[in-house]
Structure 1
Amino acid sequence: MRRIITLLYIAVVSAALTGNTYASFPGEVRWHNETADTTKINRILIDASNLADKTPNELMAYIGMRFEGTPYVAGTLEGDPEMLTVNLDEMDCTTFVETVSAMALTIKERRNSWQDFLYNLEQLRYRQGRINGYASRLHYISDWIVDNTHRGNLRDITDRLPGAKYQIKTIDYMSRHRDSYPAMKDDATFEGIKNSEVGYRSHRYPYIRRSALMTKKAPFWIKEGDIIAFTTKIEGLDVTHIGIVMLKDGVPHLLHASSKLGKVVLDPTPLSEYLSKNNSITGARFIRIGEQR
């Protein structure tokens, strides 16, 4: 059963006790299972706290594997009104990567409570790190990258990679398919989404072509724990899927929330084979947590 709790008082007390000085904290959270989720968040953060000196990529790989087997469910963030939503029992590809990234950022800050995780999750998921309705959520991966890179949460390394090319697309899939998004029945929300798309007309972004990634051994620059976002041929859309790179004997595999396999899984097929079976993919972008190179 979903429960909504007010966290402002808890945040103030936590700040007083721990010395946290976060500028903002979500007033309300929509939990899928409050007790189980807060317990799991704390357990993972505490278990990973001795890895704080590891690289963010190493943390991404370690934390990501903790969610292996979690059922795939789409649309878990949808609800009225828009709230910071936490559901560790069900994930899609985006919520999986966001959750792991928020935990990795929390560990790098040497913090280990679910309150700290919530702060970082809001920072990653919403424009300028603040919830302000449905349109403030960073729905497009390009928007997610640009906004979070500006604030130092992410670093898109794609344009620094050998063989990087550029794709130019107008990203407006959501406004073109208004009927597919129940929240956009509201005219103000629809206009908010259209306004967020304005900055992505003829958007130019780097990618590595699919053909350059279809080698069995990993290129020298791929690191375990890299976030990989697959670019697409679909009109109006930049990215269709996202996951985390894992290396098995030097061969890249995809750790992701898979709709086909119905769960978070370390894909048994190498990345090259995964790409060979997905003709709508044009290539990939590579992102790292924090400002690491």
Structure 2
Amino acid sequence: MKKVSTLLYIAFFMVAPLVHGATHDNIRWHNEAADTTNITNLLIKATNFGASNPNELIEFIGKEFIGTPYKGGTLEGKPEALTINLEEFDCTTFVETVTALALTIEEGKNSWQDFANSLETLRYRQGEVNGYASRLHYFSDWIVSNTHRGIVKEVTDRIPQSDSQIKTLDFMSRNRSAYPALADSADYAGIKNMEVGFRSHRFPYIKSARLTAKQVMGALKAGDIIALTTKTNGLDVSHVGILVIEKDGPHLLHASSKEGKVVIDKLPLTEYMRKSPNLTGIRVIRLQDQ
């Protein structure tokens, strides 16, 4: 990955003041001035890092957010809009933001508008905001949609000792009262219609007990997107993060509700899984080389 030239670096900041006031019609900003500046700075810094592959890039960008506060529910609001918030994350918005930044760089682009397009592409079915049900709420849906568009690839089934399970994904419709947006009958119908495509959905995973195997650990890479599968009825994945390799093995870099911020978890991944009895295993996703 080539470093940004001095001229390009200057161009970023010459353009930035001119575009801060411009917004896409369906962007909901947390703090437009701060977020557009942070996006631009991160794109420059991560490009200059010179990663040799997308995994290195994702790991680098993810670590830039260590210490960022945890906050859930930041995407909720009427009407549905592309929400950009680099100052607060839940586990999914953290992974999406990091991945969108990496995708923008991999595509050779360099503006906050390019990042916004990447984020919308990742977060919404067919890459476009079209109501609450167009958001990729289930992580299986997120994987399927973004794999179909050639953005990511799931490598879980390529890892030794991988297995598969079948679940019907209907947690949202069966727990309608937990999702304020589903009080709207049209949104509820849209979610129900989406869930039809995930009846008896088969997906690969690596059981928690097998994560201690050397051949499994050896197949994981720093910068992998890790989705943690769950026992919860009707739900496929309950948490996501990014893999980092520490001296004692793989750890999860994630927006932690327990810690209240983005952290590299103090527990190795194997121990984290062992102490979380509702988790069944992991799925492994990588950004495609562009």
Taking structure 1 as the reference length, the TM-score comes to 0.89
Could you tell me which residue of structure 2 aligns to residue 6 of structure 1?
none
Deviations 1:103-148 (A, max 9, x none): 0001111212111100000000000101100000000000000000
Could you tell me which residue of structure 1 aligns to residue 55 of structure 2?
57
Could you tell me which residue of structure 1 aligns to residue 138 of structure 2?
140
Could you tell me which residue of structure 2 aligns to residue 103 of structure 1?
101
Structure 2: distance between partners of 1:73 and 1:217: 36
Structure 1: distance between partners of 2:131 and 2:212: 40
Could you tell me which residue of structure 2 aligns to residue 131 of structure 1?
129
Question: Where do 1:180-199 residues align within 5 Å?
Answer: 180-199=178-197
1:167 matches 2:165: yes
Secondary structure of the 1:162 match is coil
**8 A Cα contact 1:215 1:272, kept in partner:** no
Structure 2: distance between partners of 1:116 and 1:193: 29
Could you tell me which residue of structure 2 aligns to residue 3 of structure 1?
none
Could you tell me which residue of structure 2 aligns to residue 88 of structure 1?
86
Deviations 1:239-275 (A, max 9, x none): 0000000001261011000001100001111111111
Secondary structure of the 1:163 match is coil
User: Which amino acid is 1:87 matched to?
Assistant: N
Could you tell me which residue of structure 1 aligns to residue 206 of structure 2?
208
User: Which amino acid is 2:76 matched to?
Assistant: E
Could you tell me which residue of structure 1 aligns to residue 7 of structure 2?
none
Structure 2: distance between partners of 1:47 and 1:267: 24
Structure 1: distance between partners of 2:49 and 2:63: 15
Could you tell me which residue of structure 1 aligns to residue 77 of structure 2?
79
User: Which amino acid is 2:179 matched to?
Assistant: Y
User: Which amino acid is 1:147 matched to?
Assistant: S
Question: Where do 1:211-250 residues align within 5 Å?
Answer: 211-214=209-212, 219-249=217-247
Could you tell me which residue of structure 1 aligns to residue 42 of structure 2?
44
Bigger helix share = 2
User: Which amino acid is 1:167 matched to?
Assistant: Q
Secondary structure of the 1:167 match is strand
Deviations 1:63-114 (A, max 9, x none): 0001000110000000100000011111000000000000000111121211
Deviations 1:6-39 (A, max 9, x none): xxxxxxxx9xx9xxxxxxx952211111100000
Structure 2: distance between partners of 1:94 and 1:46: 24
Could you tell me which residue of structure 2 aligns to residue 150 of structure 1?
148
Could you tell me which residue of structure 2 aligns to residue 274 of structure 1?
272
**8 A Cα contact 2:166 2:200, kept in partner:** yes
Taking structure 2 as the reference length, the TM-score comes to 0.90
Structure 1 ranges of 4+ moved more than 3 A: 214-218
Deviations 1:147-166 (A, max 9, x none): 00000111000111111111
**8 A Cα contact 2:54 2:289, kept in partner:** no
**8 A Cα contact 2:160 2:215, kept in partner:** no
Could you tell me which residue of structure 2 aligns to residue 117 of structure 1?
115
Once the two structures are TM-superposed, the CA of residue 291 in structure 1 deviates from its matched residue by: 5.1
**8 A Cα contact 2:168 2:198, kept in partner:** yes
Structure 1: distance between partners of 2:60 and 2:247: 17
**8 A Cα contact 2:28 2:82, kept in partner:** yes
Identity score, percent? 59
**8 A Cα contact 1:228 1:242, kept in partner:** yes
**8 A Cα contact 1:170 1:202, kept in partner:** yes
**8 A Cα contact 1:30 1:84, kept in partner:** yes
276, 281, 286: which one aligns with 2:284: 286
User: Which amino acid is 1:96 matched to?
Assistant: F
> Aligned Cα RMSD in Å?
1.8
Unaligned runs of 5+ in 2: 1-11, 16-22
**8 A Cα contact 1:155 1:291, kept in partner:** no
**8 A Cα contact 2:210 2:216, kept in partner:** no
Secondary structure of the 1:42 match is helix
**8 A Cα contact 2:82 2:120, kept in partner:** yes
Secondary structure of the 1:254 match is strand
Q: 1:283 to 1:244 in 2, by over 3 A?
A: same
Structure 1: distance between partners of 2:282 and 2:252: 12
